[in-house]
Structure 1
Amino acid sequence: MAPAGPQAQVVQQFRALIWEYLDNGLLDSALFTAERLHAYDSKNPDTVHLYALCMYRNNQYRQAEALTKGWQRHVGCAYVFAQCCLKLGGGRETLAISSLEACKRSWISITGWSQHTDTERKVLPGASAVYSLLGKLHQSINDQKKAMECYVSAVKINPFLWEAFTGLCDTGVQLRVNNIYKQSSEMIEAIKNHGPSEEPVSRLRNTENQPDPFTAHTSHSRERDLSNPTSSSFLNRLNESSGATSAAAHHLETPTAQPAGSHGFDLLGGANGNGVAEKPPPISRKTRAATVELGTRRLGSRTTREISQESKRPISSSQEAPPAPARRSTRLNTLKFGSKGTDRLGTRDRDREKEREAKKRAVSTRSRTVQMSGTGLFTKEQRGTSEDTSMIDVPSRGTTLPPAPKIDTKREEAQLYLLDLYKKFANSYFCMTRYQCSDALQFLMTLPSAQREAPWVLCQIARAQYEMANYSEAEKTFLKVRQIDPVRTKDMEVFSTVLWHMRKDVDLSFLAHELMELDKTSPEAWCALGNCFSLQRDHDQALRCFKRATTYNPKLAYAFTLQGHEHVSNEEYDKAMMSYRSAMAADPRHYNAMYGIGKVYEKMGQYDAAEKHFKNAAKINPMNPVLVCCVGMVLEKVRDYHGALKCYNAAVTMAPRSALSRFKKARTLMSLQQYQAALNELKVLKDIAPDEANVHFLLGRLYKALHDKPNAIKHLTIALNLDPKASHLIKEVLENLDDEDDDGYQEETSEYYKLMDGDA
């Protein structure tokens, strides 16, 4: 139990000091003070949570894990414990998931909206943060389905939780991003002018002892809604069932922002297992009598007291309950029109005087009721305005009531701006995860100029250009990032790969040197250094660098893939396969690793397995022409030329400037003896890659087949000058120009094809 009396003041002072130190980054002081607090009040779970939080922020993950292990029922302790398990790994993720699920009742209804400001905080995590952490834990153990469900729940509650959205995209689920970034009922409620805060931000609602504020309505509000079916609260509850959808039912469905009154309703305990809002139970006689008594007490007149006494008289089992007294508005109307009751009470002037006095009392009563509604005990519907005069009297002319909450227009404009901004970022990121690079660039170009110049956005642009094989533009964009943020290491492994493809060994060496100077523990720096050695064909040294990168970040799938490429260069296919599979374990949607496995199977002559993995890689990245070409290459090697030609046509359609796609298409057309079509492709290819020896060699072979001896000699001579290493093969073709037998076509050209295939 929490301490009381002077001891409570001591604890409060300790906590204030600790939060001050944490907010100002004074971790040593925070940890020292938290240890003093734990020694003073070690049996308080809030104390344990604060002490463990200080340890976690000080990177003492094992100590924080050991401290919180026995406090799984406390939300804060379970959250810190789960964070430590995620950092430490080693099979701890399952324990972390169990600890968060064990205290689910304590965090499931905490949305966190409008509870954090520059000066106030919510100490314990809300549902969106916990769901996001659960998604990471499930993803860490490769449970993609559960991870997706958790991320969906987190995004439905808080679409601004960026890591939950990116985690959801990384699972490969299909989304309608625009439906996520819409105003929900919680957002609208958060920007209303409620005056003073309804409850202290640092105070956590005890959901185990209090009814759910989204479903538990008092009999007072139920009777009012049923008596007035046109009221907004009554219609809202009828409409709640249409928008409630459980997260588990989504699977590959789209998480959408729910309409007002139902956004995330199923996550907050307001719906049954079928996703339909439960109907309120029927109103009992006791409830109705209590409601009438409450309403009549507010009148405060002699007639009110008499009615109240009559409602308390006992009722025998054989006697039915008396009918409910007429509403006060009905009695006032009776008095006004001069019925018999008016004659018994006196003159009309006397009645009007009593009526005015009753209205004044009702105004004071209603003022007290509105003040009570600000304590957080009433739901949104109960705090709203009602026209039901049996519950709240209509004030007389000249009196004013506290105004109903109104939308703060400035806060609403800010919220809509954020929604629109995040929607653009989300659309671009979603397109990038689907490798729709052109669409991603279009979304990024719609951002405000200040946002477009941010390092993260520029890196996304450079990544899109890299995936589109536009290496020169990607290099320019990455150089701009280096100017704006010269100490940035994130995403620099992609920049090093761009320089590797462009064969810029000096620039690559300079980049690796800079990154190593910045941070020798950065995995991106070791990847850049490994690419530098790889470009110099020092594969063993490159392997050491890539292995060091995976030591610093075991989840960096790209480093494992680079290891595999180096093993393939050394013809160590078993080791290459292990590296590629490690990359797939780190990221199941890493298409480069899937492509690497296909290349290994292809080199081992297992063409069926190679075709399967190339197709799987193409499913992940359907916009990459190289992957489509790889499928065609396998079909070509099993002499399925028509199937290969379909793949090459698709690749050329995707990337008309792709030299690889056109080269392979022309080669397949020659195998099908469609020489004129092959010649058209090679003429275009000669303009794209004029200094490529393979292109001129293939043109020489084609002109030989067309009996155009001068052009054949011309292009074979150019190929000989561009590639002296293959002079013996080129001279052999030159010597046999007059030979009609072309059976040695595949064998003679294999040396050139190997080079082009290796560039894939």
Structure 2
Amino acid sequence: MSHHSTLAVTQLKHLIYYHLDNESPDNANFLAARLNAIDPRNPDSSHLLALTNYRLRRYKTAYDCSQKSGASGRHLGCAYVLALACQELGKHNEGIAALEKARSLWQGRNHWGKHTESSTRHTPDAAAVNTLLGKLWRGHGDSRRAGDCYIEAHKSNPFAWEVFQGLCAEIDISSSFRMTPELASAISSASASASNQEIVDDEALPIAPSSTNAISNLHTLTPTNDPFNPVKPGGDIVAQAQNNFLLPRMKSKSIFGNNVQKPTSQPSWDTPTANVTSGDEDIEMGGIQQETATTEEPPAAPTRRSRTALQRLGLDAGKDSQKARAATVRSHAKPSAEAIDADDTTNAAANRRTQHKRTISGHSAQIPDAETITSAPRRSNRLFSQITGSKTTSRLPAESNSLTAAKRDEVKKAKATGTKGRGPAQVGRVVSGNRKIMPPNPGEVKDTRAPSRNSAAPPVATQKQALESTLGVEMASTESLLATFRSLGAAYYLLSRYQVLSAIDAFKALPSAHRESPWVLAQLGKAYYEAAEYASAEVCFAKILKLEPTRIEDMEVYSTVLWQLKKPVQLAFLAHNLRDLDFNSPQTWCTVGNAFSLSREHEQAIACFKRATQVDPEFSYAWTLMGHELLTNEEFDAALASFRKGVGSERRGFGAWYGLGKCYERMGKWDEAQRHYRIAFGINPSNPVLAVCIGVILEKLRHPKAALIQYSHALSLAPNSALARFKKARVLMSLRLYEDALVELEVLKSLAPEEANVFFLLGKCFKGLGRRADSVRTFTTALNLDAKASQYIKEAMEALDDSDDDDMDDD
């Protein structure tokens, strides 16, 4: 491949990721096709082409594009896209095999902290692959292996909510959403990586201040700003904004006459780039890398210029400028603060030996006190500091202030000794700022200047403390987030186990910010629905539509709630609203089907439910609703097929198991009905209706005592269940326990005061107790409540004198 083709491949990859990140799969797919044409043998090209096709829901094309490199496990991206396509196409075994062959490429990988606003990963880590493997094994029908994959994914990333939903039927909630060793290791690695990146940015990448001040600040003559080593954030700022500079670009000589080579001739001496600082801060001059400083020699010393008028007056600006420039160069060669102090001390000693200053009378000038130097500098000294900008001059006041009285005496004594031994020619200048600097004292601060970025590395202990502090904050934040997920997970776990009363309390105990969110309200509404508290469920779903009027999810449950409450107007309004929002969603068609069912148009309802199953064949709720409509039309074979489809889509959907039991009951197959009812009751042991159904089958099988146990259990689950109490009273009367039956019937009369069957059964109970007058009175009440059943009631009244051995009326 030519050089131009290589560059084109790189650019195309960048463009493809750009369009994928900006939700433009059509553009990404077109560019991926161009990339695959240029570089067809590269598996990266196949991966991007397959990925873009998968985003466009072209699953078969994605399967074909990724099969070559994905089926063999050579490329993780291809294997993952192949497995995704296999999941959509129902080829679960092939997807599992591809991911297993690529196990060495994803096992142990964790992308925690690597998905940010500025970075992302387009290949999955172990948590994502294990999640997909769990789905594939579940689609294949192996729940045990699916659970193992979900557990591994949950260990790597507890925040994968979909994994928790797949595990909540079998997982131990007490061990969920905890800080696992895998997660702690990932957080530590991410925190250390971020800290190292910050250190690299601070020490090796200084950047000029942002905005327009960056260019002007390059020419501000300060000790921390060098116009001849320009800052280059991704390029030479001087070259980028050359026309905006007030001074032309220097080629051989600086404005002070120093012979400095161009930055391009010695790139290692340029100031490296760094993070952008504020426009008000000075740019600290960064040093070169340590290994560069040991292998390269500093630039040659600048040539000495002829003496000027300022030099003849005692203001040696040229030499001091050279000294300031040399100090800048030495800061590159000796980045440590100790080296800088040593150089400053050596220079001060050299100046003391070579320079002198005499007064008009010819006597040697005396060194004034430190307070005098600090409080009242000479005018010539101020002029000199403005011209040269010497670091020594800028640092001297701070050092002078730190001198004690004893130190000042030592300074005077040392100066006097030097004067006696060497004569007036060796006296240091007082006015020009070339003062003597004492050797550094270990007990005092050596340098009051702010150190350059690379002058001295921060202490290891400080870096370690900063890293530990950052890691502690990350851990605390993660623990807080895990606690929130733990509360949500506990409530959802209770609902998934159909412990609806406990689930309701758990959802209500959540903080208001979460409790009033649409998702939590939907779960609370479903919990009320399972508890047969339809009015409370309606309130929750109505609040959801106020918060999120365009919500589609869970609206099929809301439609069933309205069906149970017999509210056709609200149900029709909901159906029209969902049809306008999403015409091709299964929730919409389920709602429309419930609306037709409530108006007793069963054929239309069956057509709507069938359409919902065509839109989403895995939507178990639609299969269940269609089965009940078919059962109403007594189409038992079609109803059984529909319920079986629902069981196949959701193994823990107790509604489909209940439908199968009801079908077999209507067909007179008591044993099959009991088996399916018990399976449904095992899934949802808190449902009293299922317990009553099992009791009815036991009555059919001539096991009244076992049926009585089931009815009593149903009443313990729902004390206000009129159906369970009525069935229990019937069994007690069949066992000739009239006193117990009378107690149940009296309670039932208060629960259903207008139910004719209650008074009819109460009349028979009075007959068994020998209370003929009470029996006639209750039979008369039943006759008044239900005139259609007058024939049966009159027959019972005529048989008051008959024996009690007659069979109970099943109706």
How does the TM-score come out when normalised to structure 2?
0.64
Deviations 1:649-708 (A, max 9, x none): 111111111112111111111111111111111222222222333222222222232233
What is residue 83 of structure 1 aligned with on the other side?
84
1:630 match: secondary structure: helix
* Match 1:406 to one of 453, 468, 482: 468
Max Rg structure: 2
Instruction: Give, in whole Å, the separation in 1 of the partners of 2:179 and 2:784.
Output: 63
Q: CA deviation at 1:728?
A: 2.3
Instruction: Give, in whole Å, the separation in 1 of the partners of 2:9 and 2:633.
Output: 64
Please give the residue correspondences for 1:294-333 in structure 2 after superposition, counting only pairs within 5 Å: none
Q: CA deviation at 1:504?
A: 1.9
**What letter is aligned with 1:79?**
Y
Instruction: Give, in whole Å, the separation in 2 of the partners of 1:501 and 1:177.
Output: 36
What is residue 580 of structure 2 aligned with on the other side?
517
Q: CA deviation at 1:509?
A: 2.1
* Match 1:584 to one of 622, 647, 666: 647
What is residue 181 of structure 2 aligned with on the other side?
184
What is residue 64 of structure 1 aligned with on the other side?
62
Please give the residue correspondences for 1:367-382 in structure 2 after superposition, counting only pairs within 5 Å: none
1:194 match: secondary structure: helix
Q: CA deviation at 1:407?
A: 4.0
What is residue 311 of structure 1 aligned with on the other side?
none
Inter-CA distance 551–198: structure 2 relative to 1 (3 Å threshold): farther
Instruction: Give, in whole Å, the separation in 1 of the partners of 2:519 and 2:460.
Output: 53
Contact persistence 1:691–1:722 (CA under 8 A): yes
Inter-CA distance 680–487: structure 2 relative to 1 (3 Å threshold): same
- Equivalent residue pairs, number: 549
1:470 matches 2:533: yes
**What letter is aligned with 1:149?**
D
Contact persistence 1:115–1:121 (CA under 8 A): yes
What is residue 24 of structure 2 aligned with on the other side?
26
Q: CA deviation at 1:189?
A: 5.0
**What letter is aligned with 1:569?**
T
Contact persistence 1:666–1:681 (CA under 8 A): yes
Instruction: Give, in whole Å, the separation in 2 of the partners of 1:514 and 1:718.
Output: 46
What is residue 369 of structure 1 aligned with on the other side?
none
1:110 matches 2:173: no
Contact persistence 2:110–2:186 (CA under 8 A): no
**What letter is aligned with 1:168?**
L
Instruction: Give, in whole Å, the separation in 2 of the partners of 1:97 and 1:621.
Output: 32
**What letter is aligned with 1:611?**
Q
Contact persistence 1:113–1:187 (CA under 8 A): no
Contact persistence 1:178–1:423 (CA under 8 A): no
Q: CA deviation at 1:558?
A: 1.7
Q: CA deviation at 1:11?
A: 2.3
Contact persistence 1:193–1:406 (CA under 8 A): no
Q: CA deviation at 1:183?
A: 4.7
Please give the residue correspondences for 1:26-425 in structure 2 after superposition, counting only pairs within 5 Å: 26-72=24-70, 73-89=74-90, 92-169=91-168, 172-184=169-181, 186-187=183-184, 190=187, 193-194=191-192, 196=194, 403-404=463-464, 405-408=467-470, 409-425=472-488
Inter-CA distance 83–707: structure 2 relative to 1 (3 Å threshold): same
Q: CA deviation at 1:198?
A: 6.4
What is residue 741 of structure 1 aligned with on the other side?
803
1:483 matches 2:483: no
What is residue 770 of structure 2 aligned with on the other side?
707
**What letter is aligned with 2:633?**
N
Instruction: Give, in whole Å, the separation in 2 of the partners of 1:732 and 1:4.
Output: 103
Inter-CA distance 530–415: structure 2 relative to 1 (3 Å threshold): same
Inter-CA distance 680–108: structure 2 relative to 1 (3 Å threshold): same
More divergent stretch after superposition (402-411 vs 656-665): 402-411
Q: CA deviation at 1:442?
A: 2.4
What is residue 548 of structure 1 aligned with on the other side?
611
Instruction: Give, in whole Å, the separation in 2 of the partners of 1:610 and 1:193.
Output: 59
**What letter is aligned with 2:463?**
P
What is residue 645 of structure 1 aligned with on the other side?
708
* Match 1:625 to one of 688, 691, 712: 688
1:406 match: secondary structure: helix
Instruction: Give, in whole Å, the separation in 2 of the partners of 1:68 and 1:105.
Output: 18
Instruction: Give, in whole Å, the separation in 2 of the partners of 1:568 and 1:682.
Output: 32
Instruction: Give, in whole Å, the separation in 1 of the partners of 2:519 and 2:595.
Output: 24
Contact persistence 1:188–1:407 (CA under 8 A): no
Instruction: Give, in whole Å, the separation in 1 of the partners of 2:194 and 2:662.
Output: 66
Inter-CA distance 4–414: structure 2 relative to 1 (3 Å threshold): farther
Q: CA deviation at 1:180?
A: 4.0
Instruction: Give, in whole Å, the separation in 2 of the partners of 1:196 and 1:9.
Output: 30
**What letter is aligned with 2:116?**
T
Q: CA deviation at 1:710?
A: 4.2
What is residue 430 of structure 1 aligned with on the other side?
493
Instruction: Give, in whole Å, the separation in 1 of the partners of 2:689 and 2:78.
Output: 49
Instruction: Give, in whole Å, the separation in 2 of the partners of 1:709 and 1:498.
Output: 44
Contact persistence 1:181–1:422 (CA under 8 A): no
What is residue 728 of structure 2 aligned with on the other side?
665
**What letter is aligned with 2:30?**
F
Contact persistence 1:38–1:51 (CA under 8 A): yes
Q: CA deviation at 1:501?
A: 1.7
Deviations 1:83-115 (A, max 9, x none): 1121222xx111111111111110112122222
Inter-CA distance 121–532: structure 2 relative to 1 (3 Å threshold): same
Deviations 1:284-313 (A, max 9, x none): xxxxxxxxxxxxxxxxxxxxxxxxxxxxxx
Contact persistence 1:475–1:499 (CA under 8 A): yes
More divergent stretch after superposition (408-417 vs 586-595): 408-417
Please give the residue correspondences for 1:432-511 in structure 2 after superposition, counting only pairs within 5 Å: 432-511=495-574
Inter-CA distance 489–713: structure 2 relative to 1 (3 Å threshold): farther
Contact persistence 1:135–1:148 (CA under 8 A): yes
Contact persistence 2:754–2:785 (CA under 8 A): yes
1:692 matches 2:755: yes
What is residue 237 of structure 1 aligned with on the other side?
none
Instruction: Give, in whole Å, the separation in 2 of the partners of 1:29 and 1:177.
Output: 47
Inter-CA distance 721–564: structure 2 relative to 1 (3 Å threshold): farther
**What letter is aligned with 2:673?**
A
Deviations 1:355-378 (A, max 9, x none): xxxxx99xxxxxxxxxxxxxxxxx
Instruction: Give, in whole Å, the separation in 2 of the partners of 1:621 and 1:49.
Output: 45
Inter-CA distance 626–183: structure 2 relative to 1 (3 Å threshold): same
Instruction: Give, in whole Å, the separation in 2 of the partners of 1:654 and 1:15.
Output: 61
Instruction: Give, in whole Å, the separation in 2 of the partners of 1:742 and 1:532.
Output: 47
Q: CA deviation at 1:520?
A: 1.8
**What letter is aligned with 1:599?**
K
**What letter is aligned with 2:170?**
V
Instruction: Give, in whole Å, the separation in 2 of the partners of 1:669 and 1:547.
Output: 44
Q: CA deviation at 1:116?
A: 1.3
**What letter is aligned with 1:539?**
H
